[in-house]
Structure 1
Amino acid sequence: MEINIICPGKAKEDYLQIGINEFIKRLQPYTGVNIREVADEKIPANPSEADLERVKDKEGKGIITALADKTYIIVLDVKGKPMTSPGLAKSIQNLQLNGRSSISFVIGGALGLSKHVLKKADYRLSLSHMTFTHQMVRLILLEQVYRAFKIIRGEPYHL
């Protein structure tokens, strides 16, 4: 199984990058992880609705280009369906049992995801009713993916 995380921009804060690297390292025995960063677009000063849509569309084109062929696409969307940690583990396990070799988690930029990206989604997942920075979501998502693989293997999470 290969896990792809597609997201605009870079995780700029050192503490986030340290956490992201730690969970990528912890996931190595279970799965491969690729983080594909696409260009994040600058939001113009005093943007119109059309400006905001253009920004989302440009980021969306980069995201769609970064998606691997035949990958199962899970977009993180505040309007998506919530899932428990055991639920995520079961979903990943079911995808594996059904022959899926790749899952791509898509994180939107500061303005969210374009309608084109949302239409490509196989599943729309809400991590929380709260809003997080798209850089922070990477860390939270990696922790949940790691937890899911520990649950799948029947291993204790806290060592």
Structure 2
Amino acid sequence: MISVTILCVGKLKEDYLRAACAEYLKRLGAFCKASVVELNEARLPEKPSQAQITAALAEEGKSILAKIPNGSYTAALCIEGERFTSERLADRMASAAASGKSSLVFIIGGSFGLSDEVKNACALRLSMSDMTFPHQLARVMLLEQVYRAFSINANTKYHK
């Protein structure tokens, strides 16, 4: 069974977001071994300089890269990434599995995004939208889209 990991910088603070994530993780259990791994956000002052932000992203990046299993198909969520339809994401996930990848890893950075090192290490840069969303909400949206992708590939009624 394929495993899907969502690597996230930061923790969910709102109960309703945790409940939504739990629901999609439960649903994903029918298709894969799904998990969310929360990584600590680097501490920054209230008004950080660009150098402080870059250093924090590098620190977070090391933690992220250390958590990616060898041989995984990796996707970084970032604003400059490609926008996919749900069907195209389903195709990409199916192609990764068909090519022998037993692990799919999606990466969501903190409020300042992801380091170039992390983005460059990923097979895919994925954008959810031209709009900006809080990274906590992006986690719920990503889990829903991963569930939708598995549903599309399984020809279930969920995706209409």
Using the size of structure 2 for normalisation, the TM-score is 0.96
Unpaired runs of at least 5, structure 1: none
User: SS of the residue aligned with 2:43?
Assistant: coil
Show CA shifts across 1:73-125 (max 9, x none): 10001100000000011111111111111110000111000111011011101
2:42 pairs with 1:56: no
Work out the CA distance in 2 between the residues paired with 1:112 and 1:59.
10
1:111-148 CA-partner distances (Å, limit 9, x unpaired): 00011101101110111111111111110000000001
Q: Confirm or deny: 8 A CA contact 1:57 1:114 kept in the other structure.
A: yes
C-alpha contact 1:38 1:66 (8 A) present in aligned 2? no
- Are 1:77 and 2:78 counterparts? yes
Aligned length: 159
- Aligned CA-pair RMSD: 1.3
Tell me if structure 2 keeps the 8 A contact 1:74–1:123: yes
| AA of the residue aligned to 1:148 | A
Stretches of structure 2 that go unaligned for 5 or more consecutive residues are: none
Q: Give the TM-score of the pair, scaled to structure 1.
A: 0.96
Given the alignment of the two structures, is residue 42 of structure 1 paired with residue 43 of structure 2, yes or no? yes
Paired residues of 2:152 and 2:159 also in contact (CA < 8 A): no
Structure 1 distance, partners of 2:45, 2:3, is 36
Higher mean displacement: 11-20 or 33-42: 33-42
What's the % identity of the aligned pairs?
39
Q: Distance in 1 between matches of 2:62 and 2:84?
A: 27
The answer as to whether partners of 1:5 and 1:106 remain within 8 angstroms in 2 is: yes
